Structure 1
Amino acid sequence: MRFKAAERNIFLHILTACNLSCKHCYINKEQHGSRQLDKKEIADWLRLFAAPEKTSNIIFLGGEPTLHPDLAASIILAKELGYQVTVDSNGYLFHDLLEKVTPQQLDYLSFSLDGPDALVNDPVRGSGVFATCTANIRRAIEKGFAVSVIYTVSRKNIAHLHRMGDLLLSLGVRKFFIQVLGLRGKSAAADSEATSQVNRREWLATVPAVAASIARRGIHVTYPKVFLEDGEPFECAGNVAENYFVFPNGRVYQCPLCEDYPLHNYQIADGKLVKMEGLREESFFNLAIAEGCVMNKLLQPDTIEYGSNGKVRFRISCCLLKQEVGNPG
């Protein structure tokens, strides 16, 4: 399993505002800002990262990106610039998005659901969210949009992950992303089941088997590797892939685990991508440690286990290393 060569991913947060208050939200306004990019800024930043000679994926994010009145125009421009375009939404689809863009202009519309029903999902994401999100998933699919669903695994909902297959099939969804809960933003500060990571035993006993089971039903499933197997080499995406996590205050990170700290490698200033000096996230990318990911060791040390001899029992993979099961087509 390797990172995809010559593929670029630009995660563009066009605002940090949201209509929901999800318990595990990773947005940190102290570090990411609270402003909303205007239409011209979005266009300028899209052009700044455009590279028509490469496969470039643009993912519009928030907060809730559909709250932005110029999202539709930005999607159309991104497609014209040669991007593969995705919007990650909480399901509310403000500003009549489905009436303003076409399935040809938007490659994927991705919805976040953290449970197979309202009883599991809504305590994490908010009252009424499940009903609204699933209704808009159906509406998007009826209009011909390619739809995916994102499920963030926590101790609160891991026992219900296996039930997602039935829901996805009933909705007509054919692409499913399982995410590991990152201790960033709200989840780094809160202490509840909804903001608690599962341990290695829980993850390995559940996620790979459920992913394979859902894939056998015709759904393409992607989930993070998380734990490396014995002898499996560690690779940091900061060294071997091209990912940019862009925030409204102009910060540009290459490692999502660093987003709660002013360690960003780049800053957008005066319309240019400026390389930052001093101690930055890239300073850690080439460090080789027994635990695998250096940033995980520094920021999420509780995910690592040691034996009685003091040696690490397993290595943590780069959080951007994914496993895929099923037919991507």
Structure 2
Amino acid sequence: MISVTKLLFMDEYYGDALRYSHNAHRMKSGAAEGMGPVVVWNSTRTCNLRCRHCYMESDGQKYDGELTTEEAKRFIDDLAEFRVPVLLFSGGEPLIRPDFFALAEHAAERGVRPTLSTNGTLITRDVAQRIKDLGVGYVGISLDGLADV
């Protein structure tokens, strides 16, 4: 993964030390010493798109078996106890979860830095402001498509 922040602005990003430190490849689970691993959580299979490249084979329906808000908060509590430094909400489309902001806030309150991998289609000015206000440390937006540019 290339840190665009570092590439464009020659500025350090919070996650750089977790990924690019000299001994990162030797660390258990790729984690910084004394910390648990960075966790990527496919928090929902539901998505508002149906991309050919996506491994989730998702669509706009609600899927059975996903964690409830309370179950998800207990999961985040477990991650905090394991000293996970970063939780990447992924999916499907994590912004479709009606409790996404509550879960991201819960993660931050527990000392787990929330980050987000999204297709970007649900980000409005208000959503972007809420993401910023919660202290989401990273938002990744896929730039995939079928047409030549």
Structure 1 contact 72–97 (Cα < 8 Å) conserved:
no
**Is the CA contact 2:31–2:38 (under 8 Å) kept in the aligned structure 1?**
no
2:54 is the alignment partner of 1:25: yes
SS of the residue corresponding to residue 70 of structure 2 reads: helix
Aligned counterpart, 2:92: 63
Map residues 171-250 of structure 1 onto 2, 5 A cutoff: none
Which residue is 1:41 aligned to? 71
> Partners in 2 of 1:94 and 1:88 — Cα distance?
12
Q: Aligned equivalents of 2:99 and 2:127: distance in 1?
A: 10
1:225-247 alpha-carbon deviations (Å, 9 max, x no partner): xxxxxxxxxxxxxxxxxxxxxxx
Offset of residue 104 of structure 1:
5.2
Q: Is the 8 A contact 2:50 2:57 kept in 1?
A: no
- For residues 81 and 53 of structure 2, the distance between their equivalents in structure 1, rounded to whole angstroms, comes to 33
Tell me the amino acid that sits aligned with residue 96 of structure 2: L
User: What runs of 5+ residues in structure 1 fail to find an aligned partner?
Assistant: 115-120, 125-156, 161-329
Asked if 1:93 corresponds to 2:122, the answer is yes
2:43 to 14, 29, 39: 14
- In 1, the alpha carbon distance for the partners of 2:69 and 2:31 equals 31
Contact 2:85 2:111 in 1 (8 A): yes
CA shift digits 1:66-105 (9 cap, x unpaired): 0111101111110011112111100112695324343452
CA RMSD of aligned residues (A): 2.8
Is the 8 Å Cα contact of residues 118 and 139 (structure 2) preserved in structure 1?
yes
TM-score (norm 2): 0.64
Aligned positions, number: 115
1:50 aligns with 2:77: no
Unaligned runs of 5+ in 2: 1-21
SS in 1 for 2:74: helix
- Normalising to structure 1: TM-score of the pair? 0.31
- How far apart are residue 38 of structure 1 and its match? 2.2
Gap change, CA 1:27 and 1:84, over 3 Å in 2: same
Give the fraction of aligned pairs with identical amino acids, expressed as a percent: 27
Distance 1:88 1:21 in 2: 16
Q: Deviations over 1:243-266 (max 9, x none)?
A: xxxxxxxxxxxxxxxxxxxxxxxx
Tell me if 1:102 matches 2:105: no
Alignment deviations for residues 8-49 of structure 1 (CA, whole Å, 9 cap, x no partner) = 1111122101111111111157xxx93343211211111122
SS of alignment partner, residue 69 of structure 1: coil
- Whole-angstrom distance in 1 between the partners of 2:141 and 2:100: 16
Question: Alignment partner for residue 79 of structure 1, among 77, 101, 108?
Answer: 108
Q: Find the residue that maps to 2:55 and give its secondary structure.
A: coil
